[in-house]
Structure 1
Amino acid sequence: MDDGMMKAVLYDRYGGPDVLYLGRVPRPAPAVGEVLVKVHAFSVNGGELAARAGRLRLVTGRRFPKRVGLDFTGEVAVLGAGVTRLAVGDRVWGVLGRTAGFGSAAQYVTVPAERTGRVPDGLDLVDAAALPVATTAITALRDKAALRPGERLVVRGAAGGVGNAAVQLGHAYGAEVTALARAANLDFVRGLGAHEAVDHRSVRPAELGGFDVVLDTAGSGLEAFRRLLNPGGRMVTIAFDLKRPAASLGYLAASAVHGHGRVRLFSGNPTRADFDDLARHVVEGKLRPAVDTVFPLEKTAEAHRALEAGGVRGKYVVRVV
């Protein structure tokens, strides 16, 4: 019998992956303009690890239980009032908006219809769960950096979720891509289209040469990478140093008005148009999902633990159904 409840990954206190557990919560109903999605899979992202550990508690507060999961793939189960461009049964992917927080690690999730897109035919929904975060790479290179053919691009964290997509897209956009990753992942990033793959632990930034665009996914050591910018160069970061948040954010603000080359910080907040671009890149063969390991829902804590350990190649994905 349907009791109106669903499974969801929860935690009742800040801490390591062990605080996560599989509980039951009321199944949500879509509001006006929203859809209820039956979740097939989601990926694990660095921001939710920081939130779960309590490093963002000034924002996330102390009300528990809390949820995890930022992105998702699945099928539309119920349409909210006013939704006309989607139909029940449509295969979709999406990312919860900035105001929604986390919560896609569950059997169902509600999301504004305009924050979803259709998954291309033939793409498995579990594999597809590695790609919603690629909208961040699209926005970073297309809009924030305005990457042009022939320019030199360096990607920090090139084997990770956003990084691997940036390497693929940089190659597709005609840039000369240098990928920074662990030694064990250099062949992996070369296979994504990197012209040069460098072990970030064995080379100092100053030894890399000059670049037109720097895409950073780490948030630390930004000063050293900013110095690599050629005249007219652009630097984009999707992270700040959580060990020194005040100093890191202060440096980012100062870079906007002092010295050579502003460092642009942004967080992904994709809309329908971004997901349409994502689908087009996939169909055109410019972007493919990179899935490291697939975990079952009840092993979400293991997926968090694996990401914290480092060395991921692409994305850790959690299968719900």
Structure 2
Amino acid sequence: MNDRMMQAVLYDRYGGPDVLYVGRVPRPEPAPGEVLVKVRAFSVNGGEMAARSGRLRLLLGRRFPKRVGLDLTGEVVAAGTGVTGLTAGDRVWGVLGRTSGFGSAAEYVTVPAERVGRLPGGLDPVEAAALPVATTAVTALRDKAGLRPGERLLVRGAAGGVGSAAVQLGRAYGAEVTALARAANLDFVRDLGAHEAVDHRGVRPAELGRFDVVLDTVGTDLRTFRHLLRPGGRMVGIAFDLGRPLASLGYIAGSTVHGRGRVRFFSGDPRRADFDALARHVAEGALRPAVDTVFPSLEETAAAHRALEAGGVRGKYVVRVA
């Protein structure tokens, strides 16, 4: 096989999971400040579903083929000029930057060196692929919300990738954690550390009481959940309503200047320091990978997308790069 080529997951048109296929593309070379990583595994994220289906076509355009894959674990193969602290052979985990787009569903990928960190020793690299997204939970709770011991935290979408990490971290930060999830996943989120697990379909939000912090990973009904905040409460959102994107984003923007309880919305953009913090949480036993299913090869990426769209995930779907 030509070592200048590699396999990657691609799609040539917007649509369902069946548009995904494994094709051959040129193997990238690291630019200054980048590392070339041989990918061991990656997880499937909701943003990729929106991109692949065409719901973000106004942003992404119609230039094909397009790629999938946002996060990764693997080994550094080569480093571009100016890279410090990482050398060939280092085991790493990371997330592609906002300007890089998708592309970690491949045999190799180039990543800005500041977007990866060393993988903690003893952590299986395939299971670890469920954790890079946990940097979003760290930023949401520690930095955006300033969660304090003894506060009451509501995690909406608690069984998903960010939500499952937030439940664990909320408990580690000393909060009283209420997890909203499907009925079938209540035992799962309790096992992660939730003090209270509630079926989101079986309760009205007003019945949940008041909270100091609400972490929303769903994006719908933001106004309703914002009203659950206590005085001085903080709501952090990492998703918006894809069915009504303009209205949803407009509400988020308006909440920053009107009314009590601002909605702090952000998109995860982790740096090496965030991965170092993640490694410390793992070493302390405060955070562990939550893997629903490992799909065995790149060819199974469409099956992983299909499973995530079906709903009911417990943690993350991870794809191994054989």
Fold similarity call, TM over 0.5: yes
Per the TM alignment, residue 192 of structure 1 is displaced from its structure 2 partner at its CA by 0.4
CA distance in 2, matches of 1:3, 1:198: 51
> Partner of 1:188 in structure 2?
188
Per the TM alignment, residue 79 of structure 1 is displaced from its structure 2 partner at its CA by 1.0
> Partner of 1:305 in structure 2?
306
Taking the TM superposition and a 5 Å limit, the aligned residue runs for 1:163-242 are 163-242=163-242
Superposed CA offset, 1:250-299 (max 9, x none): 11111111111000110000001100000000011000000000112101
CA distance in 1, matches of 2:306, 2:265: 27
> Partner of 2:4 in structure 1?
4
The answer to whether structure 1 residue 83 and structure 2 residue 83 are counterparts is yes
CA distance in 2, matches of 1:216, 1:145: 12
What's the secondary structure of 1:8's corresponding residue? Answer: strand
Taking the TM superposition and a 5 Å limit, the aligned residue runs for 1:285-300 are 285-295=285-295, 296-300=297-301
Taking the TM superposition and a 5 Å limit, the aligned residue runs for 1:81-120 are 81-120=81-120
CA distance in 1, matches of 2:28, 2:226: 45
In the superposition, the TM-score normalised over structure 2's length comes to: 0.99
Per the TM alignment, residue 2 of structure 1 is displaced from its structure 2 partner at its CA by 3.2
> Partner of 1:132 in structure 2?
132
> Partner of 1:151 in structure 2?
151
- Calculate percent identity across the aligned residue pairs: 82
Superposed CA offset, 1:71-102 (max 9, x none): 00000001111112111100000000111000
* Superposition RMSD in Å: 0.6
Segments of 5+ residues of structure 2 without an aligned counterpart are none
Per the TM alignment, residue 151 of structure 1 is displaced from its structure 2 partner at its CA by 0.1
Segments of 5+ residues of structure 1 without an aligned counterpart are none
> Partner of 2:71 in structure 1?
71
CA distance in 1, matches of 2:54, 2:76: 33
What's the secondary structure of 2:101's corresponding residue? Answer: coil
The number of aligned residues is 321
Amino acid at match of 1:313: R
Moved over 3 A (4+): none
CA distance in 2, matches of 1:43, 1:176: 29
CA distance in 1, matches of 2:206, 2:16: 35
Per the TM alignment, residue 3 of structure 1 is displaced from its structure 2 partner at its CA by 3.9
CA distance in 1, matches of 2:116, 2:35: 9
